[in-house]
Amino acid sequence: MRSAIYMIFWVGEDYEGCFLGKQYSWFDIDTAVLLYLWTLNVHGNEDLKWMALQVFKSKLGDLEGSMEYDKLMKESPQTAKKLIALSFASHR
């Protein structure tokens, strides 16, 4: 069991390093939604969560065409509402 936990943590560090160095323009809105959802399931990724929120906020004009956000609205409307609320409230 310990090795499984270690692997999740290690993969998380790898993802974090991959994404944090990218500019917001590198992401599309669907990637921002998926990244945000991933950070909800993996603790200790506040920087990635903040980045996903900022990317989401910068891509709001693309929201109507987002298949991932549509899927999130159907499967978890409360999470979708929280994502919108956090994107408007987020600042650093």
pLDDT in tens, 33-59: 998 998 898 777 788 888 888 889 988
Instruction: Give 37's Cβ-side CA count (13 Å radius).
Output: 18
pLDDT in tens, 13-26: 555 555 555 666 66
Q: Is the pLDDT of residue 12 over 80?
A: no
What proportion of the chain, given as a percentage, has pLDDT over 70?
68
Measure the CA dihedral 68/72/73/76, to 10°: 180
Instruction: Look at residue 50 in the predicted model and tell me its pLDDT.
Output: 86
**Using an 8 Å Cβ cutoff, are 59 and 29 in contact?**
yes
